[in-house]
């Protein structure tokens, strides 16, 4: 049996010969892992020393499949790796579940899997088990990917409940890049050309495990979170809601690229609500916040890190934004779907 078709057909989801060809000729060579090669109903992970595990899952339905700075394969690794890293865990193992639409070119699938495998290798996370389904044309959109991940917890106790008044809020770099880049890549609004005269907009899609580790080593970290769907504002609301503290941000301290600000203005978006796929939010103790900032800035991908606000009790449960004139406005959670199919 050989993978000589140009497009995915329903037969590749049958569980029979064509599924085997897809696994043996496309997936296994790209992912190259002896645990995956065992091809049982699941992977048996090597024995370990015990302790707490982190376990996470994410599905990826981004449209388009390829965008400046990334693609759905890279995103599918980064998304789950980052969820594990935000749990204080070392990302170790991923599962990979594909829902393919009938008619998908195999060339597209190969590119996506190559990108996914390259990202996994760079992180040092192993793809050890998987599943492939095929749905009829018009019942999917090329490729949907789910990854689940398992990792050993190195930094226990990271939770919004650990946040205290006086703590500082940090972000590992400029916000809004991913959402804006994907939106422009869709080119639905015809603003691409005008923006490309200026700075090229790239997604921030990247693994955050090294930044998470660097921050935790600096000490005093209360909680980590990657600001994906809903953006910075929604993530911070998840920290504050139901608590006796509030979060006060300084507008001028929040890093936003000029090109992102310009694109958001054209598109009618707010960069504080735009999805990020490689930006970490961190709450840290007042006496370690500068050390955490220095650690982030010294780590690749954290050069643009900043302290953007602090925790106080002025507006309990709320996130507020103080502008250059000292006026505060409330940032609530994202209300609707600002940007569907962004990740």
Query: Residue 19 Cβ, how far from a second copy at the closest point, in Å?
Result: 7
**Size of residue set near a second copy by CB under 8 A:** 86
- Spatial contact of 177 and 261, defined as CB atoms under 8 Å apart: no
Q: Which is nearer to a second copy, 37 or 303 (CB)?
A: 37
Which backbone phi and psi does 134 adopt, to 5 degrees? -125, 130
Q: Do 13 and 133 touch, CB atoms closer than 8 A?
A: yes
Positions in 101-160 near a second copy (CB under 8 A): 128-131, 133-136, 138-141, 144, 146, 148-150, 153, 156, 158-159
Letter string b/e over residues 155-166, b meaning 16 or more CB atoms within 10 A of that residue's CB: beebebeebeee
Residues 237-276 that bind a second copy (CB under 8 A): 238, 273, 275
CA distances for 36 relative to 21, 98, 326, angstroms: 15, 15, 56
Least distance (Å) between residue 277 CB and a second copy:
12
Q: Is the peptide bond before 64 cis (omega within 30 degrees of 0)?
A: yes
Binding mask 272-311 for a second copy (x = CB under 8 A): -x-x------------------------------------
* CB contact set of 341 (below 8 Å; sequence gap of 6+): 61, 62, 63
CB closer to a second copy out of 154 and 322: 154
Q: How far is the CB of 135 from a second copy (least distance, A)?
A: 5
Q: Which stretch binds a second copy (CB under 8 A): 182-190, 195-203, 225-233, 249-257?
A: 225-233
Is there binding between residue 23 and a second copy (CB under 8 A)? Answer: no
Looking at the Cβ atoms of 91 and 173, the one nearer to a second copy is 91
Q: Distance (Å, rounded) from C-alpha 57 to C-alpha 80?
A: 6
Contact 281, 255 (CB under 8 A): no
Give the CA distances from residue 250 to residues 47, 63, 94, 291, 297, in Å, rounded to whole numbers and listed in that order: 47, 33, 38, 20, 19
Length reported for the chain? 343
Task: Compare residues 195 and 321 and give the one whose CB is closer to a second copy.
Answer: 321
Q: Which is nearer to a second copy, 43 or 195 (CB)?
A: 43
Please check whether residue 90 is in contact with residue 216, taking contact to mean a CB–CB distance below 8 angstroms.
no
* Minimum CB distance to a second copy smaller for 230 or for 302: 230
The answer to whether 185 and 68 are in contact (CB under 8 A) is yes
CB of 126 to a second copy, least distance (A): 10
Considering only 178, 222, 229, 279, the residue that binds a second copy (CB under 8 A) is: 229
- Closest CB 145 distance from a second copy, rounded Å: 10
Tell me, rounded to whole angstroms, the distance of Cα 221 from its chain centroid: 20
According to CB under 8 A, which residues from 34 to 73 bind a second copy? 38-61
φ and ψ at 66, to 5 degrees? -120, 135
Work out which of 96, 215, 248, 306 binds a second copy, going by CB under 8 A. 96
Quick one: which segment of 65-73, 285-293, 312-320, 335-343 binds a second copy (CB under 8 A)? 335-343
Nearest to a second copy of 138, 300 (CB atom): 138
């Amino acid at each position: 049996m050989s993978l000589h078709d140009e497009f995915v057909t329903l037969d590749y989801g049958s569980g029979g010969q064509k599924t085997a060809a897809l696994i043996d000729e496309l997936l296994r060579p790209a992912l190259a892992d002896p645990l995956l090669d065992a091809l049982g109903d699941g992977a048996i992970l090597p024995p370990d020393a015990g302790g707490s595990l982190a376990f996470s899952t994410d599905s990826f339905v981004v449209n388009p499949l390829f965008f400046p700075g990334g693609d759905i394969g890279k995103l599918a690794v980064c998304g789950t790796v980052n969820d594990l890293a935000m749990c204080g865990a070392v990302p170790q193992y991923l599962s990979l579940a594909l829902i393919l639409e009938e008619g998908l070119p195999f060339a597209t699938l190969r590119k996506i899997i190559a990108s996914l495998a390259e990202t996994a290798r760079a992180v040092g996370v192993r793809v050890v088990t998987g599943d492939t389904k095929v749905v009829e044309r018009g019942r999917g959109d090329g490729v949907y990917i789910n990854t689940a991940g398992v990792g050993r917890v190195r930094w226990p106790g990271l939770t919004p409940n650990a946040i205290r008044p006086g703590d500082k809020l940090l972000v590992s770099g400029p916000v809004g890049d991913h959402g804006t880049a994907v939106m422009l890549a869709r080119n639905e609004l015809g603003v691409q050309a005008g923006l490309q005269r200026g700075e090229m907009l790239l997604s921030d899609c990247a693994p955050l495990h090294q930044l998470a580790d660097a921050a935790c080593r600096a000490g005093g970290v209360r909680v980590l979170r990657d600001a994906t769907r809903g953006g910075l504002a929604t993530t911070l609301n998840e920290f504050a809601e139901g608590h006796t503290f509030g979060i006060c941000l300084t507008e001028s301290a929040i890093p936003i690229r000029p090109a992102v600000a310009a694109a958001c203005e054209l598109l009618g978006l707010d960069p504080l609500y735009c999805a990020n796929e490689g930006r970490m939010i961190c709450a840290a103790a007042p006496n370690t916040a500068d050390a955490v900032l220095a650690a982030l800035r010294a780590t690749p991908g954290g050069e643009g890190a900043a302290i953007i606000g602090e925790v106080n009790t002025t507006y309990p449960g709320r996130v507020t934004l103080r502008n250059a004139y000292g006026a505060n406005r409330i940032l609530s959670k994202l209300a609707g779907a600002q940007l569907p199919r962004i990740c």
